[in-house]
Amino acid sequence: MKLSDFIIEYLVASGSTHVFGMSGGAAVHLFDSISRSPAMGLTCVAHEQSASMAADAFSRLSGKVGVCVVTSGPGATNLLTGVCCSYYDSVPTLLLTGQVATYRLRGDRPVRQVGFQETDVLAIFSSVTKHASQLKAPGSIRQMLDDALSVALEGRPGPVVLDIPDDLERAEVEPFAKSARTAPTRHPSLTGKLDALFELLERAKQPVMILGGGLTTPDVITDARPLLSKLALPILQTWAGLDVVPDDWPLRYGTFGVYASRLGNMIVQNADVILCLGTRLSQNLTGGLLDKFAPNAHIAMVDVDRGEMDKFDGTGLDISTRIETRLDRFLLAAEPFAEGFNRPDIKFWIEKIERWQRILPDDCPSAPADDAGYVDAVHFVRELSAHLSKDELILADTGGTLTWTCNNIRLQSGQRLLSAWNFTPMGYALPASLGAHAAQPNRPLTCIIGDGGLQLCLGELATILRCGVPLKIILFNNHCHGIQKQTLDTWLDGNYVGVDSASGLGLSPFAEVAKAMGYRVVTISRMSAIVAGLAEVYSHAGPVFCNVEVNPDQKLWPYLKFGHTLEHQYPVLEPRTAAALLQEPSHMLVK
């Protein structure tokens, strides 16, 4: 059979039944094979960057390896930003890049290119993939695919690249046959480590569990909840872990970090035992002063990557218990320990947290006048939560838009919230919606994106329509790069450069563009119109473009200014509130 047919049959047999991509001279045989495989779905994107982002979202939801197929040269290089999203968030993807024929490869010759569009894909991608290799002979294709998929999935998952010269795509190989299953790998016992961890949790007086994105992989997310309910300890979530438990989960107190709630930061700074599950404690969570992060806490972390725990050595932030394992293994091994868990008496701690909850301000801006011409984003997100279906997939982009969304959305049990958490490129959420829909076609989905972000992926508005994705696009249209304005206010006395029209930025008339493309468009520009506007958006079965005019000066408050500890966010608290917080006695486990 043709080698490209072999590849597609192999992928279907391994469960990757959808590819995202754009054709080109060096990929035509791969696309030919896709078109002749009834079991293989295809989304043709407007920009290859969207293919790698869509494959990333496909994988996040399905647990299968997300696959892209593109041509050589610019087709391959355009994948890069989406590949970074997968690399930094540990998402398994496979990038199949067409390459010039083997006899046109530059090899060791002292020239830049021989074949048309020849590009050194392996070198370009090697620093942001787990593995990058080029097919050298037709007979190696099965081994290469076996290796690529297992590397993508095993340990800490991530993207892999397979570069396939055009002449090999059309070479003849033995027909595809499923290979025998490989024996399961043995894992070292975790018992000793778990004894120590549960003993620490049982002694805790002011404990908290931090749930991160590692818990959201499809085979882990549902398994985590029984353990969390058995432990019944206070919970904080990172943005990436927001959908691990719903908003109404007992003792769940929301997010914490640099752009997050004051309550969460008070909890983490006063905790005596912290259990980190699926979070590497990024700088957005700890702030810059590592030695002042959770200063009195014994911190336990479970992570498959030892480096993520060891990286704090010498910084003043001590991970005192390090459990190096994948979370699926941890959850399984922790089950018997959770059964026999003697939950510490933490009534005093809970009461203290709930007092803080009453004392601390909500930081919700006051609503703008109804004729201001715009709405307030925080009010809007809170109202939006009430309109989403119980199994809604929510794709959020970046900037202020992401901050307002994560800090104010109220998620229900069956809902998922996805973003490219660690790489956070503008223009992820719309292409990711294509991947989310391909992974779970029957689920309702909403994309929340800023005007800056949408400008980068505008072409995919056409793909959404062409693919019939019933996407509700919520555009936070503040006519600027809002988050950058705030950064420039903080660091450069508001010397705006390239952040809005006045400072050099060109932004499209998005509502008009969407209308011209054939979208049903709903514009919301008054506080009093939010409820009816959203009702209209969600009453329509097909795609809807909702242009929300957002306050161009909306702030991302509260947030942590450089050089402060987490509990001292800006704007500073009123003296009376600050004094009330200081009166709280502490009952900590001595470190």
Ligand X SMILES: Cc1ncc(C[n+]2csc(CCOP(=O)(O)OP(=O)(O)O)c2C)c(N)n1
Among 4-12, 137-145, 445-453, 460-468, the segment contacting Mg ion (CB under 5 A): 445-453
Q: Please, what is the minimum distance in Å from the beta carbon of residue 507 to Mg ion? A: 8
Please choose which of Mg ion, ligand X, none residue 567 contacts, taking the beta carbon within 5 to 8 angstroms, the exact cut-off set by kind: none
Per CB under 6 A, 451 contacts ligand X: yes
Please choose which of Mg ion, ligand X, none residue 326 contacts, taking the beta carbon within 5 to 8 angstroms, the exact cut-off set by kind: none
Which residues have a Cβ under 8 Å from the Cβ of 433 and sit 6 or more positions away?
57, 395, 445, 447, 464, 469, 471
SS3 label, residue 469:
coil
Residue identified by tokens 């392996």 is 122
Among 46-54, 459-467, 470-478, 522-530, the segment contacting Mg ion (CB under 5 A): 470-478
Instruction: Give the Cβ contact number of residue 543 at 10 Å.
Output: 23
For residues 220-249, which are near ligand X according to CB under 6 A? Answer: none
Closest CA to 148 of 89, 97, 185, 88: 97
Among 99, 407, 478, 569, binds Mg ion (CB under 5 A): 478
What is the rounded distance in angstroms from the CA atom of residue 394 to the CA atom of residue 401?
13
Closest CB to ligand X among residues 4, 424: 424
Closest CB to ligand X among residues 233, 560: 560
Structure letter (DSSP) for residue 15: T
Among 72, 484, 525, 551, binds ligand X (CB under 6 A): 484
Token reading at 319: 């991970």
Q: Please, what is the minimum distance in Å from the beta carbon of residue 556 to Mg ion? A: 12
Sheet of strand 416-418, all strands in order from the earlier edge strand to the far edge: 416-418, 393-396, 445-450, 472-477, 544-549, 520-524
Among 174-182, 326-334, 389-397, 474-482, the segment contacting Mg ion (CB under 5 A): 474-482
What is the rounded distance in angstroms from the CA atom of residue 154 to the CA atom of residue 147?
10
Write the DSSP string, 61-127. HHSSPEEEEE-STHHHHTTHHHHHHHHHHT--EEEEEEE--GGG--TTSSSS-SSTT---HHHHHGG
Token reading at 330: 């941890």
Among 480, 514, 521, 548, binds ligand X (CB under 6 A): 480
Q: Please, what is the minimum distance in Å from the beta carbon of residue 262 to Mg ion? A: 25
E strands, 284-392, where? 298-303, 319-324
Per CB under 6 A, 66 contacts ligand X: no
Q: Please, what is the minimum distance in Å from the beta carbon of residue 475 to ligand X? A: 9
Q: Which contacts qualify for 248-257: CB closer than 8 Å, 24 or more apart? A: 248/412, 251/350, 253/353, 253/357, 254/407, 255/406, 255/407, 256/210, 256/285, 256/566, 257/284, 257/285, 257/286, 257/287, 257/560, 257/566
Closest CB to ligand X among residues 118, 451: 451
Per CB under 6 A, 481 contacts ligand X: yes
Per CB under 6 A, 259 contacts ligand X: no
Among 14-22, 58-66, 482-490, 558-566, the segment contacting ligand X (CB under 6 A): 482-490
- H/E element, 4: helix 3-13
Per CB under 6 A, 254 contacts ligand X: no
Per CB under 5 A, 450 contacts Mg ion: yes
Q: Report whether 4 contacts 30 (CB < 8 A).
A: yes
What is the rounded distance in angstroms from the CA atom of residue 416 to the CA atom of residue 158?
21
3-state secondary structure 212-251: CHHHHCHHHHHHHHHHHHHHCCCEEECHHHCCCCCCCCCC
For residues 388-407, which are near ligand X according to CB under 6 A? Answer: 397-401
Among 121-129, 148-156, 409-417, 478-486, the segment contacting Mg ion (CB under 5 A): 478-486
Please choose which of ligand X, Mg ion, none residue 237 contacts, taking the beta carbon within 5 to 8 angstroms, the exact cut-off set by kind: none
Residues 413-432, one symbol each (x = binds ligand X by CB under 6 A, - = not), give: -----------xxx------
Q: Please, what is the minimum distance in Å from the beta carbon of residue 524 to ligand X? A: 15
What is the size of the binding site for ligand X (CB under 6 A)?
19
Among 144-152, 166-174, 301-309, 480-488, the segment contacting Mg ion (CB under 5 A): 480-488
SS3 label, residue 566:
coil
Among 476, 510, 519, 559, binds ligand X (CB under 6 A): 476
Among 165, 213, 482, 533, binds ligand X (CB under 6 A): 482
Per CB under 6 A, 453 contacts ligand X: yes
For residues 499-538, which are near ligand X according to CB under 6 A? Answer: none
Q: Please, what is the minimum distance in Å from the beta carbon of residue 410 to ligand X? A: 20
Please choose which of ligand X, Mg ion, none residue 558 contacts, taking the beta carbon within 5 to 8 angstroms, the exact cut-off set by kind: none
Please choose which of ligand X, Mg ion, none residue 159 contacts, taking the beta carbon within 5 to 8 angstroms, the exact cut-off set by kind: none
Write the DSSP string, 386-446. TTS-TT-EEEE-SHHHHHHHHHH----TT-EEE--TTT--TT-HHHHHHHHHHHSTTS-EE
Closest CB to ligand X among residues 326, 472: 472
Q: Please, what is the minimum distance in Å from the beta carbon of residue 424 to ligand X? A: 5
What is the rounded distance in angstroms from the CA atom of residue 425 to the CA atom of residue 399?
9
Q: Please, what is the minimum distance in Å from the beta carbon of residue 449 to Mg ion? A: 9
Token reading at 205: 């007086």
Closest CB to Mg ion among residues 259, 356: 259
What is the rounded distance in angstroms from the CA atom of residue 323 to the CA atom of residue 185?
19
Q: Please, what is the minimum distance in Å from the beta carbon of residue 49 to ligand X? A: 9
Binding site for Mg ion (CB under 5 A): 450-452, 478, 482
Binding site for ligand X (CB under 6 A): 397-401, 424-426, 450-453, 476, 478, 480-484
